[in-house]
Amino acid sequence: MHWEILDNRLVAPLTTIKGLGEKAIEQILANRPFQKIEDFLFNENIVYSKLNKKALDVLIRGGAMEDLIDDRFTGAKHFWSAVCVDRPRKLKNLVDNIEKYKPEGSFTEEEIITFITNLTGMFPFGLVVTSDVEERLKELCVPPISEYDPDLMLCWVIPREILLKKTKRGKAYYQVEVIDSNSKQTRIRCWGIDPERDHLHINRPYLMRPTYNEDWGFSTRGPVGKTWKLLG
C-alpha cells in the first residue's frame, strides 16, 4: 500500500496506523468498498477474528472511518462508542447503541490530535495551524525552529509537552518539547518564569524569539509573554 492524493489531500495508507495488523488490512481490502457502517460490521465475507475490535478501535480513532459516519451519529465519539466500545453483534444492537450513545457527540480537538499523533506517528498540523496563520508565516518569512536562523532570531513552534522544573537553586523553569512542520522535535528551556503568571498551551502555534547555546540548546528568559506569541 502507498500514499495517494485524493481531492487535493495526501492520504496515508492503512499500514501507517499503529495496532492495525496485516490480517485486518487484508480483510478490509478484500471486502471494500463500504457504503455504510453496516457493510463493515455485518459482512458475511469478513473474518472478524482477523478484523477484530482492536482493529476497529484504531481505525476509528485514527480517522480512517470518517466517511462511514452518517447523519445518524452526532459525532465521532458517538460513532466510536456505538460501533466499537459496545461492539454490536446484530443490527438491532447497532440501532439500540445509536440511540443509547447519542449524547456523546464528538471527540475534543485535543483528543483527535492525540489519537492521530499516537496512532499514525504524524502530527496533524492542519488541525492546529490554520491556512491564515500559515500564510502569515510565509509572508513574514518566519521559519520553523528546525530551520532556525540565528541572524533572524525568530521562528515558530507548537508545544507538545510542558514540564515545570526547578534549578539547583530552586528557581522554576519550563522544559518545553516542541514540534514544527518538519516533524522534528526540539527542547526549549524557559528560564526565569513565574508558574502562576506565565502560561503556555500545548498543540497551539507560537511565534517566538529563542536564543541558542551549544551547551543548553534553545532557551528563553523572563516572562513568557515577552518571547512567545500565540498565533491564531
Q: Residue 129 carries which side chain, given as an amino acid letter? A: V
How high is the pLDDT of residue 72?
Answer: 97
For the four alpha carbons of 132, 223, 215 and 160, in that order, the dihedral sign comes to negative
In CATH terms, the superfamily for domain 127-230 is Nucleic acid-binding proteins (2.40.50.140)
pTM for the full predicted model = 0.78
Q: Which three cell numbers stand for residue 229?
A: 506569541
Angle formed by the axes of helices 109-120 and 53-61, to 10°? 120
Task: Give dist(CA 157, CA 88) in Å, integer.
Answer: 43
Half-sphere exposure for 34 (CA within 13 Å, toward CB):
22
Q: What would the mean pLDDT of 40-48 be, rounded to a whole number?
A: 96
Residue ranges of the domains in the chain?
4-121, 127-230
Task: Give dist(CA 30, CA 203) in Å, integer.
Answer: 37
pLDDT digits (tens, 9 = 90+) for 70-85: 999 999 999 999 999 9
- Residue 4 scores a pLDDT above 70: no
Percent of the chain with pLDDT over 70: 94
- Residue 12 scores a pLDDT above 60: no
Could you tell me if 124 and 117 are in contact, meaning their C-beta atoms sit under 8 angstroms apart? yes
Q: Which three cell numbers stand for residue 116?
A: 492521530
Q: What would the mean pLDDT of 42-68 be, rounded to a whole number?
A: 95
Could you tell me if 179 and 107 are in contact, meaning their C-beta atoms sit under 8 angstroms apart? no
